[in-house]
Amino acid sequence: MSYLKEFKSAVSRTAKWDLGEFTVNETAMPIDQAVLNAVEETGHIPFAQRAVQTLSVNFGMFHMLTRKFHIPGAVMTLGNVAVDGEMRHPATTAHFRKMIADESGEDQLGTYHLWTTLPGGVILDHVMPSALHADGIITVNDVVPAERFLYGPADELDHGLTYHPMIVGLEFFIASGTIDREAMEYLMGERFPKQYR
């Protein structure tokens, strides 16, 4: 199944679970490499530590992308990633449903992956290169910003990577007890981004 089909299913599931309404823009809108590099260079978590700090890294980069650089159509996406058909996490849709029911999201952070989906089914992930490098699957020159993140059409990624979205948006973090509503409203509100100026 294509990434966009899986993404549309995740969007539909998100709405069904009353976690927000999202639109799917099927037309890619490429981001200039200089902007991608600038987003990458704002990250404060060292490359080698990113593989074990997925939420901090990819949520932080999503925030930077949308609130500082104002890139439209970016959607926080949660699910699973496979390398050559082998899933890296135990995440399933039932797993996400249980995290909401139990409000156990904070305790389950390492059980799924998150990344940014951009229009046209393009992936932006600042964690996976670190994880693949740590596993010896790829070699990354971490002094080159463009090598520290993954950016490209989801159905054309190297290294046998396939992304499998299950839920989208930020409301899941609140519903699952991962981040409280007040903190999320502050992070995504108008006051917080002023520090980017």
Return d(Cα 37, Cα 147) in angstroms, integer: 10
Render each residue's pLDDT in the chain as its tens digit; 197 residues: 899 999 999 999 999 999 999 988 999 999 999 999 888 888 889 999 999 999 999 999 999 899 888 899 999 999 999 999 999 998 999 999 999 999 999 999 989 999 999 999 999 999 999 999 999 999 999 889 889 999 999 999 998 999 999 999 999 999 999 999 999 998 888 777 666 66
The range of the structural domain enclosing residue 154 comes to: 3-20+33-196
Give a yes or no: residue 83 inside a domain.
Answer: yes
Give a yes or no: residue 86 inside a domain.
Answer: yes
Number of domains in the chain: 1
Give a yes or no: residue 127 inside a domain.
Answer: yes
Return d(Cα 127, Cα 113) in angstroms, integer: 9
Within its chain, how far is the Cα of 148 from the centroid?
Answer: 15
Three-state secondary structure readout of 86-103: EECCCCCHHHHHHHHHHC
Give a yes or no: residue 28 inside a domain.
Answer: no
- Specify the DSSP class assigned to residue 63: H
Return d(Cα 32, Cα 69) in angstroms, integer: 11
Q: Going along 29-168, which residue ranges are E strands?
A: 75-83, 86-87, 113-118, 122-125, 150-153, 161-168
Give a yes or no: residue 120 inside a domain.
Answer: yes
Residues paired with residue 168 on neighbouring β-strands, in sequence order: 77
Give a yes or no: residue 84 inside a domain.
Answer: yes
Return d(Cα 104, Cα 98) in angstroms, integer: 8
- pTM, rounded to two decimals: 0.94
Return d(Cα 159, Cα 115) in angstroms, integer: 17
Q: Specify whether the CB–CB gap between 123 and 150 falls below 8 A.
A: yes
Three-state secondary structure readout of 14-29: HHHCCCCCCCCCCCCC
| b/e 104-118 (16+ beta carbons within 10 angstroms → b) | ebeebeebbbbbbbb
Give a yes or no: residue 133 inside a domain.
Answer: yes
